[in-house]
Amino acid sequence: MVSISAGAYVNTQMPYLLQDPNYFDVPFEKVGSSVGSVLFAGSLSSTLLTPFMGYAYDIIGRKMIIIPAILALAVQLSLIPYSAPHFWLLMIFRSVMSILMRLVLVKPLVMDYIKSESRGVGVGLAGYGFIFGELIMISMFEATRKMSMTMQYWVPAVIIATMTLSLIFLIREPTIKQCKKMPDGTVVVSPNKVIEDMPFWPRVKKLTAEAFEEIKERPKYIFVFVCLIVSRLMNVLFAVYI
């Protein structure tokens, strides 16, 4: 919800920022293509880095990724007006925001907290976060319209940072478990301290090997992966041409 609010707010405010003579002073007829270029750079950068974000959650943890990422997102949001008049710097700032937003959106909390037989419902309910995020964006947009351009970015940044504080008490790290089949056929589940204490690179190699093994056993993952690629390509094309 928080990351959606930040991204949607910046996308909505960007045409006004670009047209402002005190900032970028982009002619009206070029605003559309300029916005498309910024969003394309952000979508491309976040898409290229998405496959590596899962490693971060598995190795570093949930809380140590999500909370710093959202706080960094708030800081980056407040810095957007200071990129003027350098358009290339605006593209960099927006790309960093896209990467942080994607890092928050790929969080595996649904799989951590919800039982496998209820994950469909869980994902559906989590979709309300997108709706509330857009509602918060609309509220922030209307509330800050008469403020200075700098304050139009600072106020949402402070609100997002404040909302993040609640996550410190809500997010819990999952316990890495191992399953051992006993001679009588029962399965014993216990914490896997070997994986938790494994050094960085051996753990990356183990996670990669397990992912490829899972793909071999369940080829449907390839279909899901292709669908995700098509979805991201459509998002990029929509950002550029619509």
Burial class (CB in 10 A: 0-12, 13-18, 19+), 26: buried
- Give the domains, in start order, of the chain with CATH numbers: 2-174 (1.20.1250.20), 177-225 (no CATH)
Q: Round the average pLDDT of the chain to a whole number and report it.
A: 79
pLDDT at 165: 79
pLDDT at 106: 82
pLDDT at 227: 75
pLDDT for 239 beyond 70: no
- Total-model pTM: 0.78
Eight-class DSSP state of 116:
G
| Beta-bridge partner residues of 180 | 188
Measured distance CA(56)–CA(204) in Å, rounded: 10
Give the mean model confidence (pLDDT) for residues 41-64: 82
The encoded tokens of residue 57 equal: 């959650």
Q: Tens of pLDDT along 161-219?
A: 888 877 777 777 776 655 555 565 554 444 554 455 677 777 778 778 877 777 777 77
User: 87-101: b or e for each residue (b if 16 or more CB lie within 10 Å)?
Assistant: eeebbbbbbbbbbbb
pLDDT at 194: 45
Q: Tens of pLDDT along 86-103?
A: 999 999 999 999 899 888
Measured distance CA(23)–CA(106) in Å, rounded: 34
pLDDT for 75 beyond 90: yes
pLDDT at 119: 66
Eight-class DSSP state of 173:
P
